[in-house]
Amino acid sequence: MNGKDKISKINLPTSFQAEGVNVFLIHNDTLTLVDAGQNVKGAWDAFTAQLKSLGYQVKDIQQIILTHSHVDHTGLVHYFDHDVKLIGHPSSERWLHPTSSFLEQHDFFFQDFFHQIGVPPHIAQPYLAYKHRQVVSNAQRSLDIYVEEGAEIPGLPQWMALHTIGHAQGHLSLFHRQDKILIGGDVLLPHISPNPIIEPPLHRGEEREKPQLQMNETLRRLLSFSIQRVLPGHGEDILNPNELIQHRLERQHERAMQVREWLMEELMTIFEVCQRLFPKSYQSTFGFTLFETVGQIDYLLSHQFITEEQIKSGLNMEGAW
């Protein structure tokens, strides 16, 4: 590892993962923090204590790069002064600093989407309210600098930004060209496959993106970078990234094929597929299980393993929409 580019991992608590979230400090001429944890009890104290043991204070940090806009990666941003530059992909901006028109578009999109795929209102409405609150409670701070695919990271000449789209539309990973290290955010995690979270299209009325397909494409692209080690947003370092990527792609295909078998036998809504895929957890982790299911359907449709006619629309179903 280049002496100027030492990396330290700081692990912080979150509200939803036992293993917490990893943020990284890149010791360089520009002291850089990658990601900013979740704003939960004890997280800021844990952060400052670990920073101190590395020999730094909060005021030493000059810039923060966000791999993506999810609350477990951005929550502590508001503890920092505004002269600490906030860097991220432009598609993260609307989540970090949501405008009222984005919130309106967000709710409208999901309302319509859930209806189409057959989610009953008594499940869709509380989830949407929760999701709305989560967006409102995000960083509430705009990005100062946008970086996009292939860009050098400001202040870090050895590092290149990769737009590792899928888990989030604005997802970035940081690639160290010489050492072949990837600070991956949630692009590749040791124990789970990241959720293909659906986002409203950038402009109202456009077709939504298909995050599972984007994620597969991203993973396949990463295979060509000869990455030696991935420092993920959750869990321990990944030392065999290419092997794990192959495994993830195969597992996803197998899961989709299982869904295909069911759809060959009967007409189901996407929500019904979700219930069958996740009979125990579809209610307690509704968004995750639903997006995972939509991912399988998008995959099957895009590879023509099924046709649109094999999926039942939710639009004509009972329910007070």
Q: Which residues bind Zn ion (CB under 5 A)?
A: 72, 186, 233
- Rounded to a whole number of angstroms, the minimum distance from the CB of residue 167 to Zn ion is 8
- Rounded to a whole number of angstroms, the minimum distance from the CB of residue 234 to Zn ion is 6
Residue 177 is classified by DSSP as T
Query: Read out DSSP for 35-62?
Result: ------TTHHHHHHHHHHHTT--GGG--
Report whether 91 contacts 149 (CB < 8 A): no
Q: Where are the alpha helices (DSSP H) in the chain?
A: 43-53, 71-74, 93-96, 100-116, 121-136, 211-222, 241-265, 270-277, 286-302
Q: Order of strands, edge to edge, in the sheet holding 181-185? A: 152-153, 156-163, 172-176, 181-185, 229-232
- Rounded to a whole number of angstroms, the minimum distance from the CB of residue 190 to Zn ion is 13
- Rounded to a whole number of angstroms, the minimum distance from the CB of residue 89 to Zn ion is 15
- Rounded to a whole number of angstroms, the minimum distance from the CB of residue 17 to Zn ion is 7
- For tokens 């923060």, the residue is 64
Nearest residue to Zn ion by CB is: 186
Instruction: For Zn ion, give the closer residue by CB, 156 or 188.
Output: 188
Instruction: For Zn ion, give the closer residue by CB, 155 or 233.
Output: 233
- Does residue 98 sit in helix, strand or coil? coil
- Rounded to a whole number of angstroms, the minimum distance from the CB of residue 200 to Zn ion is 20
Instruction: For Zn ion, give the closer residue by CB, 88 or 233.
Output: 233
**Residue type for position 77:** V
- How far apart are alpha carbons 103 and 207 in whole angstroms? 18
Instruction: For Zn ion, give the closer residue by CB, 233 or 295.
Output: 233
Instruction: For Zn ion, give the closer residue by CB, 74 or 158.
Output: 74
Instruction: For Zn ion, give the closer residue by CB, 211 or 314.
Output: 211
- How far apart are alpha carbons 66 and 301 in whole angstroms? 33
